[in-house]
């Protein structure tokens, strides 16, 4: 008996595509919220916010694809640029203050070393005073 494996017929399903009306709506929104000169979204808009605004089954991938094809490859926005600038400024400030802390820490170490040195010297001097007192005291006078 010859039993050849049955061939599996897997139907390939094409991904859903936007309707012409959905494409026009996406382009219409992009015309309003995408900055052609800056090559990014204005304000806080994103591909996702555009898809959310349109609703009615408009997929994020459609917005991204149409934006890339017709407006530009950058899905960033003005808010992201502003936050990035603030972060860079903040990091620069942190570095300045970090260096000041390190400088102060070095000075504090120098002062701490001086305190130890002066304390050691003061203990030596007190010991000498005690030795002198014992020499000058009643025992020294009676000898």
**In whole angstroms, how large is the CA radius of gyration of the chain?**
40
pLDDT digits (tens, 9 = 90+) for 96-116: 999 999 999 999 999 999 999
Number of domains in the chain: 2
Residue 20 pLDDT > 90: yes
Give me the mean pLDDT over the 74-85 stretch.
Answer: 85
Cβ neighbours for 70, distance < 8 A, ≥ 6 positions apart:
27, 30
Q: Are residues 96 and 118 in the same domain?
A: yes
Give me the mean pLDDT over the 32-56 stretch.
Answer: 91
Q: Are residues 70 and 102 in the same domain?
A: no
**Arithmetic mean of pLDDT over the chain:** 86
Residue 52 included in any domain: yes
Q: Residue 116: which domain range?
A: 79-142
């Amino acid at each position: 008996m010859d039993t050849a494996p049955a061939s599996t017929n897997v139907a390939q399903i094409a991904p859903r595509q936007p309707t012409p009306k959905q494409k026009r709506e996406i382009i219409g929104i992009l015309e309003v919220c995408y900055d052609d000169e800056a090559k990014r979204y204005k304000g806080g808009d994103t591909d996702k916010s555009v898809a959310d605004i349109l609703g009615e089954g408009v997929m994020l991938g459609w917005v991204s694809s149409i934006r890339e094809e017709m407006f530009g490859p950058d899905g960033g926005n003005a808010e992201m640029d502003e936050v990035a600038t603030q972060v860079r400024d903040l990091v620069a400030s942190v570095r300045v203050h970090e260096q000041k802390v390190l400088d102060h820490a070095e000075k504090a170490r120098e002062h701490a070393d001086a305190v130890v040195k002066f304390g050691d010297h003061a203990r030596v001097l007190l010991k000498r005073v005690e030795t002198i007192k014992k020499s000058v005291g009643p025992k020294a006078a009676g000898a």
